[in-house]
Chains A and B, each alone.
Chain A
Amino acid sequence: KNQVEQSPQSLIILEGKNCTLQCNYTVSPFSNLRWYKQDTGRGPVSLTIMTFSENTKSNGRYTATLDADTKQSSLHITASQLSDSASYICVVPRVTGGGNKLTFGTGTQLKVEL
């Protein structure tokens, strides 16, 4: 079954600390993996897209890693800020009957506190 699972489900950290979010997927065939940030009540916004051949990609304080062999990805947030409080969603697309279906994980709810 094509699935995307994320952990932890929720996380609370202090401002300035680092954290790592995990994503395991079983979607096949695999083409790429995306991390989105979703503020409460808002649409998801892409943070990074990683293709099969990429192991690490950074976007400011966000660094994503991908291990296509173990089908795992992580998102590392450095020096967290209050504005990082959001849901982080791992997304893996796959082709279904001629279309592209984005399979979403349920997300990790991150809260950054003072």
Chain B
Amino acid sequence: DVKVTQSSRYLVKRTGEKVFLECVQDMDHENMFWYRQDPGLGLRLIYFSYDVKMKEKGDIPEGYSVSREKKERFSLILESASTNQTSMYLCASMEANYGYTFGSGTRLTVV
């Protein structure tokens, strides 16, 4: 089974901090995605990547950046955390059969 691992289950950060959310997948998938989940809004796409060193903006990229230096790792960066970035962050990877595999999520609280 594909495994997608997000390094932290819960994080509490202060406003203005730079925050790194790490995601690693073990099945050599080319495609990786970062979503955030908020009540009443569902999952919204922040950034995605189809290959190493490649990144594309999703629907809500403002305030975020990403890094994909290795195929298995896709990092989400909050350049200067703000309270409206308090959310559940979900990483996913997939191969060309539309099968997304999600990580367990990181619950980020910005205070």
Partners in one complex: no
A interface residue numbers (CB < 8 A to B): none
B interface residue numbers (CB < 8 A to A): none
